[in-house]
Amino acid sequence: MNTEILLIEIGALIGYLIVTWLVSVKLRDVSIIDIAWGPGFGVVALVHFVTGEVHWRAWLVFGLTIIWGGRLAFHIWSRHRGKPEDSRYRKWREEGGQNWWWTSFFRVFLLQGVLLWVIARPLAVSMQTAPEFWTLWDTIGIVIWTIGFIIEMTADGQLAKYLKLQQRESFLRTGLWKYSRHPNYFGEALLWWGFGAFGVAAGYDWILISPVMITLLLRFFSGVPLLERSMRTKPGYNEYSQRTNAFIPWIPKKVSQ
């Protein structure tokens, strides 16, 4: 990838983050970074789509990125609509005091922008490298991406229906949630392995660092651990956690009473 395209990509992403940050300052709601996460990858993909050689893999990866990012943004927006700022960011706002309006750009938006840029590397290399033919890795990529997308979309839909119930159990135990405590995160990690496969198809084996990174983030840092903290306070958590895998869907374990 040449330096000019790299600078355009970084500039477009920073511009997107600045606009999103300014909106958050106006709304006094940093939570919108979660909504902006998926479309941020769309910004990266768009840069490489318009600056690179148009070929079938570029169309494919661009389309899959827009589908995934758009759906994720709409899902998070629909859940956040009409609600106050997420408790995680409210705590940081209180700690930041009067300086939070500008420090939030560095602590939240720029930090997530760096993560987004690193994770998006499979999109960049697969769209900039013109393929000679369809490869086995392309087949692996589309299959894994599709499975991951279906799992994430289905799990999000099941959770949305569950949250609308006025009377519900402490934990969702039906559908995909019977086999994993966080199947939506597993689906997202899986589809990024699909994107990684497209990068390998383009000749960049090292690009698998991207799905490794987002899998580790979701499983051990930003995803599962944050939700598990609040889940531990609910009745029945010990039995639920012993019975149901945290991340990878699997047959529920038998728990002795």
Q: 65: which residues sit within 8 A by CB, 6+ positions away?
A: 41, 42, 45, 123, 195
Handedness of CA 135, 139, 140, 142 (dihedral sign): positive
Distance CA 50, CA 131 (A): 17
Position 257 scores a pLDDT of 56
- H or E element at residue 147: helix 136-163
Token pair for 228: 């598990």
Whole-structure pTM value: 0.94
Distance CA 58, CA 76 (A): 27
How many CB atoms are closer than 10 A to CB 98?
Answer: 7
Distance CA 251, CA 183 (A): 13
Task: Average the pLDDT over 221-225 and give the result.
Answer: 91
Q: 157: which residues sit within 8 A by CB, 6+ positions away?
A: none
Q: Provide the greatest CA pair distance for the chain.
A: 63
How many CB atoms are closer than 10 A to CB 233?
Answer: 8
Amino acid at 101: W
% residues pLDDT > 70 (the chain): 98
**210 and 118 in contact (C-beta within 8 Å)?**
yes
pLDDT for residue 249 is more than 90:
yes
Is 75 strand, coil or helix? Answer: helix
Per-residue burial over 157-168, b if 16 or more Cβ lie within 10 Å, else e, is ebbeebeeeeee
Burial bucket for residue 207 (CB in 10 Å: 0-12, 13-18, 19+): buried
At 1, the pLDDT band (50, 70, 90 cuts) reads low
- The 10s digit of each residue's pLDDT in 118-174 is 999 999 999 998 888 999 999 999 999 999 999 999 999 999 999 888 788 889 999
- The 10s digit of each residue's pLDDT in 186-199 is 999 999 999 999 99
